[in-house]
Structure 1
Amino acid sequence: MKTIFSKLLLLVAVCIVSSCAEETTNDFKEIEQQTIDQSQPLTIAEINAEIESQLNRGQEFDWENESDHFLWSAVIHGNNILTVGYGSENESYSENRSAALETKKDNILKIVETHENYIRGKETVVEHEIINVIDVRVENIKTIETLRKAKNVRYLEPNGYNHYGTDNVMRSDSRL
């Protein structure tokens, strides 16, 4: 009787260990899948669904609150144009830029040039005269990750992303 009970107990233990191992393997597969998915941008529909979801919950949508991957995805779908607001908190515009402000801008552009592997030019960087923002061409998510950690970056936004609401406009236009 003891041997039957021992064998039964051993069988139950093996089943439990096997089950736990399978769950752990599934967890690792899910984590791996999420990591793989981070290498591809979200679709326009996925981006718009998240924006819509936040607005429907009565929240204010702000790119600053989104993940690096979410922002990068919107940049990719927005002709790779990222707007970088730079300077200190109260330096949103400046008619006469100080040397310190120019240094802040140059440091940001060096980050972009390093991660994007290009030299700034009319094709890759647009500087604004009064507003302390620059539009840069971005393809690499590392650029966004690094800029978000950089000093003197006030905000990052996907300037070229204009796909939100286009489905609703197209539907209403098709009824005309």
Structure 2
Amino acid sequence: MTSTPETNRILLVEDEDQLREVIASEIKDAGIEVIGVRNGLEAIEALRHHEVDAVLSDLCMPELSGMQLLQILRANGFYKPFVVLSAFGTRTEAIELLKLGAMDFLEKPIDSVALIKAVSAAVQLGHALPKLRLEFMEQLGLKEGDNNPALEKAITQIAQLRFIRTSKTA
């Protein structure tokens, strides 16, 4: 599913109910709609029924970890921004997540300002990605049906870098 410019919506994947509610409340206060689920399996199901601009996911969860969720989403053509949060993540895991295409890695306990900054940037990038993707495909002389997963991943990573660079200079 694709997101429309009118939406500001994220999928929040967090297995701790109370923490999910606190995080959702902070994000909603920033004007972003939140769809909250408890694990990666619920996240996949939610994405079948809801359009989102980005995903904010815990790393360590039962049934399907944040890393496994990211791998599955990318393998199935979901290239919206993905932000990870974790109390237990290692530097190695953070690097692996970034290689897989995660946009950011936030450590728990979560700083509210950093959370809103990361989620807002992810939502903005989620809005910008379709246009950036088309620009890159056009520059490469490709048509909509010409792409493949490796190309999608590369286009998404380039778009993220371009977006981050331009938003820092703006």
Q: Same fold (TM over 0.5)?
A: no
TM-score, length-scaled by structure 2: 0.24
TM-score, length-scaled by structure 1: 0.24
Higher relative contact order, structure no. (Cα contacts within 8 Å, ≥ 6 residues apart): 1
Flag the structure with larger Rg.
Answer: 1
